[in-house]
Structure 1
Amino acid sequence: ISTNPSSLKWPIAIEYGWEPSPVENETRYSAGYWPQSVVVGDFNNDTRLDIVVANYRSNDVSILLGNGNGSFENETRYSAGSGPQSVVVGDFNNDTRLDIVVANAVSNDVSILLGNGNGSFENETRYSAGSYPQSVVVGDFNNDTRLDIVVANEGSNDVSVLLGNGNGSFENQTRYSAGSSPQCVVVGDFNNDTRLDIVVVNSGSKDVSVLLGNGNGSFENQTRYSAGSDPQSVVVGDFNNDTRLDIVVANYVSNDVSVLLGYGNGSFENQTKYSVGFWPQSVVVGDFNNDTRLDIVVANKDSKYVSVLLGYGNGSFENQTRYSVGTSPRSVVVGDFNNDTRLDIVVANYYSNDVSVLLQYNRGAIAYKMAYASGGGSSLQCVVIGYLNNDTNLDIVLANYGTNNIGVLFGYGNGSFENQMMLSTGSNSDPISIAVGDFNGDRVVDIALAVNDIKRVDMMLGNGNGKFEIQTSYEIDFDSSPLDMASGDFNNDKRLEIVIANGGSNHVDIFVAYNHRSFENETWYSAGSSPQSVVVGDFNNDTRLDIVVANYDSNDVSVLLGNGNGSFENQTRYSVGTSPRSVFVGDFNNDTRLDIVVANGFNNDVSVLLGNGNGSFENQRRYSAGYWPQSVVVGDFNNDARLDIVVANEGSKDVSVLLGNGNGSFENQTRYSVGSSPRSVVVVDFNNDTRLDIVVANYVSSDVSVLLGYGNGSFENQTRYSAGSWPQSVVVGDFNNDTRLDIVVANEGSNDVSVLLGYDNIVFVKQMILITGNDSRPQSLVISDFNNDGLMDIGLVNSHAHNIGIFLGYGDISFANQVTYSTGLYSSPCSMAVGDFNNDTRVDIVFASCDADSV
């Protein structure tokens, strides 16, 4: 976690990732000024580890409550003494709630903050210590089952012992001599007499002092052992598995650690030294590679990294492995912050005023949060997900409208992704939409791409070895730009075709694959004026997929019945409300015939058109929604086997839920607040309780709202999670194979994609930002297996590039060069869907072109 000393708030940053590597962009949490020491504990009894930080400059401590998935709430601050230098936790009043003790270097005392068990703390109580206390630990020194305190006092060259009364109060200190300038103190039973002893590291005398305990709260005189130059920190552990405690010391000036193996009688062997980074300041131990052998981690003050030394189990250690953190790391602790049974690391960074959280991935490798950049001005247009390299890990594909390329990010299966691999779509191409699949029937993933500005559709055929070749390009003869794209097998030839919606030309295009290596010229189908949204379904029960398009300017929907060979009948238009923005299908009256629901932006309502089962539809029935509805989907929200409707209302900052009666009619809406300008809504069961939940992308507030369903048609209040700027589209999927659904958002304003990983407690963490290119402006995305190779592929609409892009994956984290297919100049594809339109078991694509008035 890292902070910015020049900012008014001192942020904390959390890094995630996959294996040892430099830390990339971070998620930040505010702390106080000059955080000096950090420890962890469960302060609100929710079984999730929390963090407490001692802030030297602001004279307080920061409490950050953990969400159990590696993320933390914003800080709450509590006053301490002057110059808090060290902090530890324990239950000082035997109420089963963790309390805090802070060593205050400037005021020469310790602060006790009793915990309330809900994450909050009482005001401090202060007790005198020695001069300039530097370190504090707790333990039961007189065997009365009450925690006591010991403090290392740098200025008075001694330690203070304060015996606890068990009610949160303490006796006056008793002082014991140590070496010169004691910096750190820890406790342990070094002579196996069941009585706690003390070890102190003395920076001035370059040694450690061992004080054996008598079991009554008093201690023997010190015995001293040589360490390195200017030792700063000490911890204990059994490094050679002989059941005797050993000591490891961080030596500040000699840039190493000293390991002193214990004999079990209170004495120690001479030190063995191991190199670490510059100015090691703090050291802790833990098993970081799950081999049952203790390892060492060191915070190096002048190196901006921590050193991890894996133990061999015989008292010796491997050479260090380094991991980047913030500026001037001073203190380090370990704990399991994401409940994966692997130890993670927390570091307090002095000059960057923050703490670093490093999540362990596996076998001692430390995980970071990763951000993926594709360059300034990428203008992300759309994002889709799928299994592209046959490794069962979800991957991400992005259309970078502004930088004229497609970005591919391969997933590691742990919620992190490789850096973006970019596939050029050509100069001034403006990719706006893509689809992926096996377009030539060779069981290798290919890519189709709609290129907006140059009115072209390109195809990239996969070679099966991680590479793609540009096979062919198709020029579109209309003065239009593709807005949306979908794919499917429309002619039952077991090959995928592509359908493109052209916003300005009042039609749609169908591209049919042939000869196993290319696409036929597109087929255009007229739609209404300014088609905005497209979905597919079988409207006449002939087992052939049909198309329905919502036409914004002509205030109707176009239904195009499929012939099963990749061609479609001319459209039939049905009136709906004014300015329809979104269309969806479902069986609303349980007659096994698909019906249509449309969100009408201007009329603030939805139109329901019941299907007759022969491809025709009844006149619309209208139901009120909120202001300026933008997106509509369906689901059974009250588990009555009847489909219900949810609408995202941009103008009223809410969603409308209309419960279905099972006869094609709906109850009056119930509204639930979400963020500002909701643009996209999907439904899914996030918490595996068999009840559908809602997730909404909020355009202006740049976040997503999650509303958990009760299963009776009502929903909890929203929980909001930050996304990028102007989120336009949202999808869900399991990106790290943990059986928990995650959220992906395409952000038009920031030209990137936000990935929010889901956890058991229905918390979503903004795990990464995926930058997609200058002015790419993502609008719509789909995922499907386009080439029937069992791997998920990607299709994407690029509204400014006026094209469809197809990227076929080899299954080994690589793609061939793209093949692009222009959707026509100024067609502006804005929506896409997929299906098998010709019954050849291959996925086909249909997209709506806003400016070409076609699909």
Structure 2
Amino acid sequence: MYSTGSSFSTSLAIGDFNNDNRLDISVANDETNSISVLLGYDEGFANLTTYSTGSSPRSVAIGDFNHDDRLDIVVTNQYGQTLSVLLGYGDGSFANQMTYPTGSSPYSVAVADLNNDTRLDIVVANNGDQEIGILLGYGNGSFANQITYSTVSSTNHMPYYNGSQPYFVAIADFNNDNRLDIVVVNKGDDNIGIFLGYGNGYFASQTTFSTGSDPSSVAVGDFNNDARLDIVVANSNANNISVLLGYGNGSFANQMTYSTGSKPCCVAVGDFNNDTRLDIVVVNQMSRDVGVLLGYGNGSFARQALYKTGLYLQYVAVGDFNNDSRLDIVVAYSYDDNIGIFLGYGNGFFSSPTRLSTGSEPNSIAVGDFNNDTLLDIVVTNAGINSVGVLLHYNRGTLAKKITFASSGGSHLRTVVTGDFNNDSLVDLVVANYATNNIGFLPGHGNGTFGTEMMTFIGLDSYPYAIAIGDFDKDNELDIAVANHGSNNVDIFLGNGTGSFVRQINYENSFDPLPSVVATGDLNNDGGSEIIVAYNDTDNVHIYVPYDTSSFASQMIYLTGSDPYSVAVGDFNNDSRLDIVVANRHDNNLGVFLGYGNGTFGTQITYSTGATPYFVAVGDFNNDARLDIVVTNNNDNNLGVFLGYGNGTFATQMTYPTNSYPGLTSWPCSVAIGDFNNDARLDIVVTNSAANQVGILLGYGNGSFANQISYSSSYSPQSVAAGDFDNDTCMDIVVANYDSDSIDVRLGYCNGTFGDPITYFTDRFSFLRSIAVGDFDNDTRIDIVVANYGYDNIGVLLGYGNGSFTKQITYLTGSRPASVAVGDFNKDNRLDIVVANSNDINVSVLLGHGDGSFTSQMTYSTRFLAMSVAIGDFNGDTRLDIVVTSSDGNRVGVLLGDINLVFVKKMTLNTGLGSRPRSFAIGHFNNDDRLDIAIANSGTNNVGIFLGNKNFYFTNQTIYETGSASRPYSLAAGDFNNDTQLDIAVANYDSNTIGVFLGYSNGSFSNQNTFSTGDSSGPCSVVVTDFNNDTLLDIAVVNYVTSTIGVLLGIGDGTFADVIEIGIEYQSLPFSIDVNDFNNDGKQDLVVANEGTDSLNIFLQTC
């Protein structure tokens, strides 16, 4: 019980006063002229903190009056004829009051932005002056002088008329014009007055609507689901409430009345039975009870259900005080100096009240999270001591032989799993922290205690909801799959065996609707884990397989010469480590970077070339097992060959002309290397852009070459590649022609000569810049990829194996693709493509499907405009890396490749209309070494069995009933009758039972046998293990409603002893349970995740 220090508490308000994500309560204490503020924290409500107000505080409301994201309090002081404003500090404490004059006897206060300036304003009912007052806020915590509006009815001319007596105010938009209006209860006139707002802080004169006798309170809501606001009024002398249905234009139908207890003095509304229909709660002062009237959603209500208190009631407010997503009720006991909280069960019924002491005469309550701990706190006006009292929320409860781990920073814990994530043979914990957007790793110490939680951030507003563990990358280390409600996806975190995890980049892996349940298993016997996912409010589940998209780390940059225009890769010093060579176009040299084998490189070593080196390639031209270099000297019309010494250095270049006769401008642009005459000696093919020729230089095998043999080409041949396109073992060539928007294929005759070109046109103005070849559809036939510079895409031409090709299929890239290269980046034995985007600061990677098609591009930043690209494994991890040159600076960048797993949908399992699958159990139900799936279908009250076949195929669902209105929530599998066949245990939430289905060897099961978990217990999560070391499997279940653990010891024949209950904290609301040996004593322990206390409990076995 929490005292307000007053015997006459008359009003309450709710809000978050200290920015801890927990709602607080303010109570008005009439006798002590104070308000009481109760700040919310984890174990009930803290001791009261009081703050002085004016004389006889009557009503309290909350809002952020100074735009500091901290809730403040406003109180009407009835005898002081003032308002008190207390600015909040965000930690549950408040500044001293600032007062503002009102009219006579200010009775009620409400808060909203009445003039659409984003600053909160105040409305007060001045009972003694028959008016309402409006104080417009300045947004800094101060307010203008009040503007008043009369509440007197012009038709009331009774000889002993005592005035309208405005008693209670509320604010809402009654005419759907997006401007706030005001409703005031006129106690003296037995009516309510509606002041329609103009949206500028001014209002029309009131329009009145009759109520019952002596109306004292009003609440607003849409009672008939017509998107028009309605009104409910408590009529104190008529012993009823009035419901006035709104027409949406500011007018209302005649009242409908519903009987209450004696002298109803206050009403509030909320959905108390989670049927999306608003209900009403009323406090009956003289009969000293609380009435709840459930709404039918058509504007009518059931008869009230009464909750006796035996105490004088003054005020009522509504909020979720125990974070169970079910509305609760708080009332002010004015003469007993306390408030009472009725916890809701979510079905329209409520617990007996918990009484909390406040100040003297609490008469008004407001509820909010004053310290941002996600728990509701309470502020109470204490009229008897002229103060407000703040009660911060917390949850009480103790239990022996448990260890509690509180969540961090209001994390709203959602899931807990166990495993050895750091390979120390000790059990660790991993949790999903919903509110803080991370997963937490708690390393186990082996004695039942755990280390400090280490967080891995998922993403802003990701809201992780469910976790499963498996081995997704087949490295024998535990990985984590996280289902995220906020980002609508499932993330993969790869474990490295040290307790740390690497989040994989999630490319457009968005699910709809929200993924809520995830489980893992090796469903295709490939040694890795797949996942099964269920969603909110769906009738199917999906199976996803991990897919490696590869990723590339932030690049390392090395300085080059001026304008590095081309790059190639090779091992120039025979140390089994790849090196890099670039052509520095404006410096007329080559730069060689020797690799260290760890992804880093030495500084550039330069070698002089001819004028404007344009393209560079690598090969062993003199058959000495040492790599050599060839470069196109564009402005010198020749090729330069640098013979390698095998130690990373090179001889001076030897040049070979590329023009057919002296003086002809050829402008050699690109080369490709191959054995074109089958003499086991490398030859060179070069594109001569200015001469519109392709040149062949046959190699002698000693590093020298014959004079060029020229072939006419289409306009401006830009790039060339070589391969056997017709499967005749002779090398062919393909040329990309920049100005003619075409590709020329020349088939080789194996003697160094070639046939006439076969031309394939691309789109006009595509301006082909680069070409590469590879087998993209795994048909052993060479295909072509070309960079279409003019259209920001690449074109793929699939080969028929006879030297002809399909029409190009295009894929978008970045801006101005200038270079392409081909390799298997994700190690799936399917060729992929990388593109340098010369007008973007990135490269594009398109993963191959192995059928000739590709994924959409994934881009990786280069921090400079990308010109030329090449690939190789620079750090010896068997994954391809990328090297790219800059077109806007003197740099080369290296991007190291790494694994990156995402989930790709493989198939869908339909679970039946309205099934709402909620939990999985995976195991061998028919002994065929293929995993099968059991699903708890909470919507259709059954368990569905899918038997696995080859390649992710499953039989149609076979269902087993769990009983009418049982709502199966959780599944676990084990052999309960020692017949070596897996059986199933299911937690039936609504029927408060554990159901057991005994399995037969063919994948079928017996009918359900049930075991009670206790009345109204709400079993929601179940695990199976041997708790008492008798070699017989037992069952443990957490009961959400009663906040207990139930243990059912197995008899060994498929039956179980009566449940043994273990209490947890009151209203801890456990929702998840797992089992393991946390202290290495050979006994199975339990870990329980609690929603109400946002904590973990570890229960260690002691016997």
Q: How high is the TM-score relative to the length of structure 1?
A: 0.46
- 1 or 2 for the larger relative contact order (CA 8 Å, sep ≥6)? 1
